[in-house]
Chain A
């Protein structure tokens, strides 16, 4: 599954306003891509490690773990976790109008549906 996710990630097409994205697998390995300055691989890996912790603590607090959106002064970080534990984090520009929301939705939909493609 990890291989398939990584292949999809490699081939995924950037959308307008995306700055970086990263996937963290259940085995704690990660892959990332960046389109903006300042988003280096190590920092993205660290960010996704935090996200994994957050999903665990959300569950501990009985807060349904759906899509997370971290709102910062300069950027948004959107995250989703698959049932197999893999997490996708996507950094976009802060302003809602400055990134392609449909492109973002498409990216998450593809990420979530990857297992279905395997079973077919």
Chain B
């Protein structure tokens, strides 16, 4: 019986290093790995389109496209693919940022063959793990928009050829600027929007060729934003889907002096218990002080595909979704070979309050609760 060779993709702008890595890893792994390399993000994206990659190893310090941005994109589009950062700059700050963005491992580039052998051993162990259904358990295909964005960020010159059924179109990117689009008889921005709105089909990146004319002058950021807005408008006009309803309760917020009513979400059945009385942690401060009561400061609920379903006073929704993804990933890793059962939630308790990250089969919740003086006590403290 033949065993499928693991496909390991290394992404680094240092071509000499890639060559060395390919030689070493092929020697260490023998027939068990197929080692692929890409010297920039665009080339990596094309390979990801064409092949089923088991493990991607990337440098985070690459010119033009930030490795962290790339990690974020990979997590969205290839949730079950394992990602490892291999860098020459192994600071704690970089490490935390990479883990937070979905990297399974953060490794320092070795300086000798023994070091590379150790890296191989770690990657090989990781590659053996079966991908699990996790936070973003639903695999989503990489979109034309994502590839286009990466091409623009990388300031590449390329032609995106798109085909969907009988229709065929092209988008021309010159040094990171979208300069022309055509589909059928249409050209310019209308054609650009039409190409991006194609419901399916396939696309490929072709070598740059000068278009017959230049019909687009706007910034690519604006163009992509407009295209997304158009798509959203189209989808919102469609019949409503089964969105969860989140009831609201109005109450007087004493912390704000009771000047204006504050709308606080009530998470019927979704939120875990936030009773502070069960805590035995010294980090929670004086337990005897029963006058302290929990007050919800921030709520975010998202689907397991990372779509925000509801947020309340959340200063950084993207960051919170990333955090929930990270906790989901770690909760699964943590339970490996331990008889813990299904993960429900993480509670982080500190003197300031409590943060709860709950991962349920259908959605994830981020809840931040602070401890404030109770109403009676607050009244008594008024001058």
The chain B residues found within 8 Å of chain A, CB to CB, are: 92-93, 95-97, 99-100, 272, 278-284, 319, 323, 326-327, 330-331, 333-352, 355
Contact = CB atoms under 8 A, between A and B. Distances in A.
A71 to B, nearest CB: 5
A101 B280 contact: yes
A40 interface: yes
Contacts of A42: 337
A73 B341 contact: yes
5 shortest interchain CB distances as A-B pairs: A73-B341, A66-B283, A64-B350, A67-B281, A66-B350
Given A70-B331, A80-B283, A108-B280, 13 more contacts: A50-B333, A60-B97, A64-B351, A66-B281, A68-B347, A71-B347, A72-B335, A72-B341, A72-B342, A74-B340, A75-B340, A105-B282, A112-B282
Interface residues of A, number: 44
Contacts of B282: 105, 108-109, 112
A66 B348 contact: yes
A50 B330 contact: yes
B348 A58 contact: yes
A104 interface: yes
Interface string A50-74: 1101101111110111111111111
A57 B340 contact: no
Given A66-B349, A80-B281, A60 B340 contact: no
Contacts of B284: 66-67
13 contacts: A50-B333, A53-B99, A56-B96, A60-B96, A66-B281, A67-B283, A68-B348, A71-B272, A71-B343, A72-B344, A74-B340, A75-B339, A108-B282
A74 B222 CA distance: 50
A114 B266 CA distance: 42
